Amino acid sequence: MYYKETLRQLYDIGIGSLMIIFVVNIFIGAVTAVQFVYQLGGTFIPKYYIGYIVRDMTIIELAATFSSIILAGKVGSNIASEIGGMRQKEHIDAMEIMGVNTSSYLVLPKLIAVLLAIPFLVSIAAIFSIFGGYIAVIYSDVFSHEEFVQGLRSFFKPWNICMMYIKSVVFGYILTSIAAYQGYFVTGGSIELGQASTRAVVYGIIVILIADYLLAMLLTA
């Protein structure tokens, strides 16, 4: 049961979120590149630095944080609604009478699926974001392909990749645990369920941003 439920959650969270991850991150990368072109215009900073800046901004911050915030809204609200609906329809009470460990059965597969899917989605987000920056600057006749690629290959630190995956795992745990808690302990009717879903999203985003600051301080010290 755990295996099948984990696979179902993996499909819903991973494959089901690819399109929104693609759309959001490709434009984030494009906007980042365009803004830095504007900021560095008229300076003596080499042009290839744009590729270097877009790469590091994406890997260190944008891919993991923005993707997790998006998934806190999409996945977090879905988890809270699903578990909360089962609580209100007394499915959880029936499972507990049958001796099922409901907190484990309902939450653990979702947590495992998120911890596996979000690093994958963040990797895809980083690729899309860098590609969006590449498209934005190359087709604006400001840069050449060689200059952008030179920036991508300059000053690379493998630790930045580790930071991205550490953040994605921590953020995934945060959004899943908060959403599952809000859904599991919901009381009342449909209005309270909607409020629980809203709290899951809001609290998840706030805690993710706080964790992002703390991780940035710890991992770059």
- Of residues 144 and 79, the one with the higher pLDDT is 79
**CB within 8 Å of 164: residues ≥ 6 apart:** 59, 60, 63, 64, 122, 126
Answer whether 166's CB lies under 8 Å from 215's CB. Answer: yes
Query: Is the pLDDT at 164 greater than 90, yes or no?
Result: yes
116-128 residue pLDDT tens: 999 999 999 999 9
The tens digit of pLDDT for each residue in 77-119 reads: 889 988 888 888 888 888 888 888 888 888 888 999 999 999 9
* pLDDT for the residue numbered 49: 83
- Residue 213: C-alpha distances to residues 37, 60, 67, 97, 162 (Å): 26, 12, 16, 43, 16
- Looking at residue 185, the DSSP 8-state letter turns out to be T
Q: So where are the chain's domains? A: 2-219
Question: What is the pTM for the complete model shown?
Answer: 0.89
